Amino acid sequence: MSAHPQEVALQAGLVALGLALDEQQVAQLLAYLDWIAKWNRVYNLTAVREPAEMLTHHLLDSLAVIAPLNRQRAGRGIRLLDVGSGAGLPGVVIAICCPDVVVHCVDTVAKKAAFIQQVAAALQLKNLKGVHARVENLTDTYDVVSSRAFASLVDFTNWSRQALAEGGVWMAMKGKHPADELAVLPAGVEVFHVEQLVVPGLEAERCIVWMRVSVV
- Domain range summary for the chain, segments of one domain joined by +: 5-213
**Residue 172 above 80 pLDDT?**
yes
pLDDT, position 41:
79
pLDDT, position 192:
96
Tally the C-alpha atoms within 13 A of residue 60's C-alpha that lie toward its C-beta: 29
Q: Which of 161, 82, 70 is nearest to 116 (CA)?
A: 82
Please state, rounded to an integer, the average pLDDT across all residues of the chain: 93
**Residue 173 above 60 pLDDT?**
yes
pLDDT, position 216:
65
**Residue 3 above 90 pLDDT?**
no
pTM of the model: 0.95
Q: What is the pLDDT of residues 120-171, one digit of tens each?
A: 999 999 999 999 999 999 999 999 999 998 899 999 999 999 999 999 999 9
- Does 42 or 55 have the greater pLDDT score? 55
Per-residue HEC secondary structure of the chain comes to CCCCHHHHHHHHHHHHHCCCCCHHHHHHHHHHHHHHHHHHCCCCCCCCCCHHHHHHHHHHHHHCCHHHHHHHHCCCCCEEEEECCCCCCCHHHHHHHCCCCEEEEEECCHHHHHHHHHHHHHCCCCCEEEEECCHHHCCCCEEEEEEECCCCHHHHHHHHHHHEEEEEEEEEEECCCCHHHHHCCCCCEEEEEEEEECCCCCCCCEEEEEEEECCC
Alpha-carbon torsion angle 131, 35, 68, 127, nearest 10 = 50
Which amino acid is residue 145, in one-letter code?
V
- Does 5 or 209 have the greater pLDDT score? 209
**Residue 58 above 90 pLDDT?**
no
pLDDT, position 1:
47
pLDDT, position 51:
66
- Region 98-102 average pLDDT: 98
CATH superfamily of 5-213: Vaccinia Virus protein VP39 (3.40.50.150)
